[in-house]
Structure 1
């Protein structure tokens, strides 16, 4: 592989999973990505990527090359960010991928409370649901412990979920919930066991679920942080204990020394600590 620029196309497609998304990351077009990957495959004498139902996956022939390229890319970003933080006033940009409920209920309030911790850092937030690895993100926050690999992982906090209904609401046996692919998620299982039927309507996220509950006045599962914002919501007694979902963050190990990454990691941790503190205060007030 004589052209070092080819590494960019390998890394981009391995992160994005589609030619279109890789082209967007690289600031080029889909045809160019396809052509460069085909050229790499010809050089290797074997396909560099394999098309699957979940997108393009690296073949065994390039997995180690991509791993080395990712490490180099991370170390280069760390060095550049260190230089930017030390010698210039230029903002360092990082992409944070997170499940929507964490973004809205933990990270956004964290910006209001502790935005000063992100001095010199510009963040781009994106929804991340059911995807593996970092993808195009510098840091990812996910439900449950990530699989091991060349990443740094850390448990950062938890959110508590219960079933909620409305004050004065008449039980109808109906409820609303998340989309079918979330049915195995414990808050949904709690609702299935309690109502003994599928949800009447479904949506993709807890924030959308709250809006749906507000309009239909039907019960459903919600995180305490979101339910606490509406005084008309009340908990529904069930045979289940409240579900406490653990959330983890991960980033590539080559970014350990990145000062911008350290700032974001510290800020995410602090934002989750606020959720824990608020829960204790609410418990004492109750």
Structure 2
């Protein structure tokens, strides 16, 4: 443990750097988020660590992960940020027009098939609102997003979580696809998830010949390579010639959850975007 220099944090701005690294998992990404450079991020964290007397993060293959010693501090900082955002957006809305940027973490298939076609409606209703869509699938934390849509239900953090729909996945193929065992699946990290488990079973336990990060990517690869692959019904619906590899194999249905920090429950900007997202999902026949 580091030897702390006192019980006060004199440089409150250092907490922004702490939160940015926690959100993004890397010094360089945190620097981009704060429009600075990695050296400044590192220097600010070193000063904060010296003040607190704790190592703030430890390096893992997935990036920088916060130490348990600062878990309560991080939760307080996240709550403070949410309260400030809500206050500022509420004050700005008094003029009668919502303005600001909302970042949404959402699977690429849903960004393209559900939200994308209805962005015009949001712009028409709230021309001052800007969206930043981040293609993310299996995620349990907000990270740098204001809200996420995920097939995983978060179990930690002060998040408001509500069901928003279901997605249906199966192995799809093209009419002339050879059935020689080659197929396209997701990265090994996803092998334990139910859609990949069913796909592996359907394909006789053979691992994928090609692995991609998202089912949206798989759908594109099916069209290009003519190999069968695991994708979502909503992606397959964009290609009428794409059909089920085995029509007798039932779809895997996975619930989707919309999640955001509880301190943003009264944020008019975020709530307007949540209403738009909810309406977009309600109007989709089959995902």
TM over 0.5: yes
Pairing 1:145-156 to 2, within 5 Å after superposition: 145-156=153-164
1:21 maps to which of 3, 25, 29: 29
**For this pair of structures, how many residues does the alignment match?**
278
The alpha-carbon deviation at position 260 of structure 1 amounts to 0.8
**2:231 aligned with 1:231, yes or no?**
no
User: Which structure features the higher share of helix residues?
Assistant: 1
SS of residue paired to 2:58: strand
Pairing 1:30-179 to 2, within 5 Å after superposition: 30-87=38-95, 89=97, 91-112=99-120, 115-179=123-187
Query: Which blocks of at least 5 consecutive residues in structure 2 are unaligned?
Result: 1-8
CA displacement, residues 181-219 of structure 1 (integer Å, 9 cap, x when unaligned): 222232322222122122222222222212211122221
**2:229 aligned with 1:220, yes or no?**
yes
The alpha-carbon deviation at position 118 of structure 1 amounts to 4.4
Match in the other structure for 1:283: none
**2:248 aligned with 1:264, yes or no?**
no
Q: TM-score, normalised by structure 2?
A: 0.88
Aligned-residue RMSD, C-alpha: 2.2
Provide the rounded CA distance (Å) in 2 between the counterparts of 1:193 and 1:59: 39
CA displacement, residues 142-181 of structure 1 (integer Å, 9 cap, x when unaligned): 1121113211111111111122222354433332222222
CA displacement, residues 29-55 of structure 1 (integer Å, 9 cap, x when unaligned): 111111111111111222222333332
Change (3 A) 1:228 1:149: same
**2:213 aligned with 1:204, yes or no?**
yes
Moved more, 192-201 or 232-241: 232-241
Match in the other structure for 1:274: 283
Provide the rounded CA distance (Å) in 2 between the counterparts of 1:131 and 1:169: 33
Match in the other structure for 1:9: 17
Contact 1:85/1:120, CA 8 A, preserved across alignment: no
The alpha-carbon deviation at position 82 of structure 1 amounts to 1.4
Match in the other structure for 1:284: none
Q: TM-score, normalised by structure 1?
A: 0.88
Contact 2:86/2:267, CA 8 A, preserved across alignment: yes
Match in the other structure for 1:191: 199
Contact 1:157/1:269, CA 8 A, preserved across alignment: no
Contact 1:152/1:250, CA 8 A, preserved across alignment: yes
Contact 2:89/2:98, CA 8 A, preserved across alignment: no
SS of residue paired to 1:161: strand
**2:256 aligned with 1:247, yes or no?**
yes
Moved more, 203-212 or 132-141: 203-212
Match in the other structure for 2:6: none
SS of residue paired to 2:278: helix
SS of residue paired to 1:87: coil
The alpha-carbon deviation at position 15 of structure 1 amounts to 1.3
The alpha-carbon deviation at position 13 of structure 1 amounts to 1.7
Change (3 A) 1:170 1:92: same
Query: Which blocks of at least 5 consecutive residues in structure 1 are unaligned?
Result: 281-286
